[in-house]
Structure 1
């Protein structure tokens, strides 16, 4: 029986990201995917600059830029297509070096993720490999696999298993976890269309607040467009399979473009759910992505959450496997990510409810309130800012209970020396960012602990960032989140995550 340190179940964006990050740390892993080829239909279409930063960490900075396009933000429209409110986003590089929001076609993203994975010799990818059972004992996990092409059965042994196998996760079932609903279920029609014609629409997300049928429109790529419409009782996707029946729904955006120039790529029914698994780990099996949480698509965070899971867990698991980190750090994964995912799901639920609830009365309220939202202090920034909530307190997030600070937040991917950014210098290691000029002994101590020292000089972006948290130094984790921040330079904070540390 073959033995590997890590088996990744599922080769969607979450599984491919986790495997690539592990490979960057030299961890051998086996990726098992039940399908041989990439699923050809578009699903996820949006991500933010924090997740764009993760893709750059994988080595896909230029390749993702080539397949994506920035979007300008959000417009809320009434049933007559009048703009009730507009929240614009900056399409240029932001604090992480990337647009605050980007649109893409998921098959294109998975193509570059798979191609990039082949650059790492420590990863083996197997398609047509359906995992049928996970069995744990004190020393590891037996993974039973069936070759869907030949019907042959075999078993592999792993130290750890990452269940990235989607909403119908076998990994979740194997650890006895169950999805908990957060009070949101809606049936929607999802439509993808290709056309060489230019629709001439505003290059952002359009949210249609129509009590008769709420909807969403966005341009995904040069020729690809996405619509989503809430289905009424009794309707199904089959009612809209041909353009003659579909066109009345999308004609508000397509205008006078001939029907013959619009090609349907997909018409499908999706049930948008808000759910979180009650447990994300059992000993050596972890849940990531849709196996752990389902997010309504109204803020474009479903796939993003999965990539954040991978980023949070991979460096911890790699550190445990090579003995650099205490095994107890793995307990922080669910603590940190579950709280964050739940917060984003609640935000998506709020946006979806605000857009669709209340019938005609709700429509009257939206028409009265939405045009005045920009007058509410801070609301425009909240609607357009891509920053997500800080991570929950854990052994790796030393956040004061009674005061907000930098701990748990992402360190900006700031330009350090006129050209290189923070991530280029940190390179997946712990970093200490400080506005205090360290002594030679302190520099040696930081180097001895395996951390990167980055001095935030007065007037620099990192200096200003430290100031927002009333801090003079911050210990930044390999995933970019702040472990600890304060007024003094405390490299010994890193000892808490070492084997035998405090």
Structure 2
């Protein structure tokens, strides 16, 4: 079997390589830079994405480097709280805190170490890809300017918003009509600011802003820039938050937050993942998570295709069909959230304050705002829950308490209520959900007496 060639060694590319290697698929990872990008970028993943990091094998180490986010506070221009939406900081339905704040270089170090520990993955840094098709990739080493050609069983373009692979396959970048300039500042303070442990969003049309703590004495600020406005002096922007505390600026950069999606995501056996396939505004914290969802969705399908005589073309066809509508739905939500929190003029801001206050007073709407469950995937299997992600409570195995995914293993599985007969398809692992296995009763309450078939990515394929 030729190797899968992955272009781009950010979290999505390295994550995809690990997921494939764990399924016995050899990979070659190429990146134009020899070392990981050293400065912070992504800062949040939810509990669904934590399950992917669990599958990759870095969740426990990641928890030691991250901190639970308590939720979201909406502030007015004077930093008075208009509304507060709290998240579960202990364990949500997927076994992890619903919001997890972190410094991206920390995650990248964990992923690179995990990649290096696995057999079947080769990494080449300083490699600029200039040609690719479904059977080979050509790249140039920046160290000596030599050109190389490698055969490929498939090519994954994980090379970011300015993707070379996207250009090479002729995919279009569809503008979804959102572009805002923001100033992003990361800093390390001399002492802890004793701020509330969630995200603060300043809903001020004159200067929308965000503030969050990433770790001990590590903080991020984001400030909206208007069109043609010059890059701002950081000191007066930070002073209301610092209150005299000294800060060392780690990064100060302007970004344009965009909404876009590639069309198509695939040409033959070449696929786009992460920012190469889609860009989303950061207002619901799903940018990196969307890319890792791409990797998890595609990895098990590509492994099955490569390891099945005659391949599994229907599985490969389902990658874009499932992921593109899911991403578009999250982009729409991010755009709406961005407008609600930062957009509008003075009159709109006044109306927005009244509406947010009303939402805070209505438990039903508040619960909807707090829900972290992502949209179901379309066109998956059969039954009411098809396309949704199963929960992951702790279960009791012979060797002690474990999270559910550890009991399910890497392949297809069947969750069967105790006492119900089941004839599983070949290769499906049957897990009988007894009171002994499920002492909390959470899994039995979710099953409601039904038998559920789960795909390797824990998405419900069918209920019976």
Shorter-chain TM-score range: over 0.9
* Partner residue of 1:462 out of 436, 443, 455: 443
Alignment of 1:380-399 (within 5 A): 380-393=366-379, 397-399=380-382
Does structure 2 conserve the Cα–Cα contact (< 8 Å) formed by 1:87 and 1:383? yes
Offset, 1:112? 0.6
CA distance in 2, matches of 1:374, 1:466: 32
Is structure 2 residue 464 aligned with structure 1 residue 483?
A: no
* Partner residue of 2:430 out of 448, 453, 459: 453
Alignment of 1:48-127 (within 5 A): 48-127=46-125
Offset, 1:438? 4.2
Is structure 2 residue 160 aligned with structure 1 residue 166?
A: yes
CA distance in 2, matches of 1:129, 1:69: 35
Partner of 1:474: 452
Partner of 1:490: none
Offset, 1:183? 1.6
The 10-residue stretch of structure 1 (319-328 or 421-430) with the greater mean CA deviation from structure 2: 319-328
* Partner residue of 1:182 out of 162, 176, 186: 176
The 10-residue stretch of structure 1 (451-460 or 356-365) with the greater mean CA deviation from structure 2: 451-460
> Where does the alignment leave 5 or more consecutive residues of structure 1 unmatched?
240-244, 487-502
Partner of 1:220: 214
> What is the number of equivalent residue pairs in this alignment?
456
Does structure 2 conserve the Cα–Cα contact (< 8 Å) formed by 1:436 and 1:473? no
Partner of 1:429: 411
CA distance in 1, matches of 2:227, 2:172: 28
CA distance in 1, matches of 2:230, 2:416: 57
Post-superposition CA distance 1:191-212 (Å, at most 9, x none): 1111131111111000100110
Partner of 1:495: none
Alignment of 1:137-148 (within 5 A): 141-148=135-142
> Where does the alignment leave 5 or more consecutive residues of structure 2 unmatched?
none
Alignment of 1:326-341 (within 5 A): 326-341=312-327
Does structure 2 conserve the Cα–Cα contact (< 8 Å) formed by 1:436 and 1:472? no
Does structure 1 conserve the Cα–Cα contact (< 8 Å) formed by 2:133 and 2:270? no
CA distance in 1, matches of 2:453, 2:133: 38
Does structure 2 conserve the Cα–Cα contact (< 8 Å) formed by 1:273 and 1:294? yes
Does structure 2 conserve the Cα–Cα contact (< 8 Å) formed by 1:210 and 1:356? yes
Partner of 1:407: 386
CA distance in 2, matches of 1:55, 1:17: 8
SS of the equivalent of 2:3 reads strand
The 10-residue stretch of structure 1 (23-32 or 357-366) with the greater mean CA deviation from structure 2: 357-366
Partner of 1:353: 339
Partner of 1:493: none
Calculate the aligned-residue CA RMSD, in Å: 1.5
The 10-residue stretch of structure 1 (247-256 or 273-282) with the greater mean CA deviation from structure 2: 247-256
Is structure 2 residue 254 aligned with structure 1 residue 269?
A: yes
Offset, 1:170? 1.0
Post-superposition CA distance 1:15-49 (Å, at most 9, x none): 01100000100110100011001111100001100
Does structure 2 conserve the Cα–Cα contact (< 8 Å) formed by 1:456 and 1:462? yes
Is structure 2 residue 305 aligned with structure 1 residue 320?
A: yes
Offset, 1:416? 2.2
Is structure 2 residue 238 aligned with structure 1 residue 250?
A: yes
Structure-2-length-normalised TM-score = 0.95
SS of the equivalent of 1:55 reads helix
SS of the equivalent of 2:258 reads strand
Inter-CA distance 123–151: structure 2 relative to 1 (3 Å threshold): same
CA distance in 1, matches of 2:363, 2:192: 37
CA distance in 1, matches of 2:382, 2:241: 47
Partner of 2:291: 306
Structure-1-length-normalised TM-score = 0.88
Partner of 1:197: 191
Which contiguous aligned blocks of 4+ residues in structure 1 show a shift greater than 3 angstroms?
none
Partner of 1:283: 268
CA distance in 2, matches of 1:376, 1:282: 48
